[in-house]
A = this chain, B = another copy of it.
Amino acid sequence: MEEITVRTHRQTEMIDITAAVQDAVRRTGVRQGVCTVFVPHTTAGITINENADPAVVHDILMEIEKLIPQRDGYAHAEGNSAAHIKSSLFGCSTAVIVEQGRLRLGTWQSIFFCEFDGPRTRSVWIQVTGDRGIVKGEK
């Protein structure tokens, strides 16, 4: 398993971690398979979306904030229920196909760590399953 450290700077923030995930995939030596990206936190999440225009990330965070307000009569005493709810809606894991040792993403896709209760120092765990090197039955 590989680990990435992510330093967040705002309460809610989406940080492009594609390059760091790609580095982790390379370190595993897996050539063909699936990369599982897992966030071990309950007030953060993971998503794949566009990073070409920063307005996309802005709009995602703004609209999710409208849907799940910071204060809305929550019971949880820590005051970060909105972050827990966003975490469940975005999910804490995603899977990306690996081919020839590289993440296979669409043209406009980047992998984002989603901070919903920052700023904090966070971790992302990466496991790659599949075949190392050239194996029989694979081209």
List chain A positions with a Cβ less than 8 A from chain B. Answer: 1, 29, 32-34, 36, 38-42, 47-50, 53, 55-56, 58-60, 62-64, 66-68, 72-78, 81-82, 84-85, 87-99, 104-109, 123, 125, 127, 129-130, 132, 137
Contacts and interface: CB of A to CB of B under 8 A. Distances in A.
Contact of A94 (B48, B91, B109): B91
Contacts of A42: 48-50, 56, 106, 108-109
Contacts of A77: 53, 55
Given A90-B89, A95-B95, A96-B38, A129 B74 contact: no
Contacts of A48: 42, 88, 91-93
Nearest to A80: B56
Copy number in the complex reads 3
A120 B62 CA distance: 27
B59 A74 contact: yes
Contacts of A73: 62
A57 B1 CA distance: 29
Given A56-B81, A95-B93, A34 B129 contact: yes
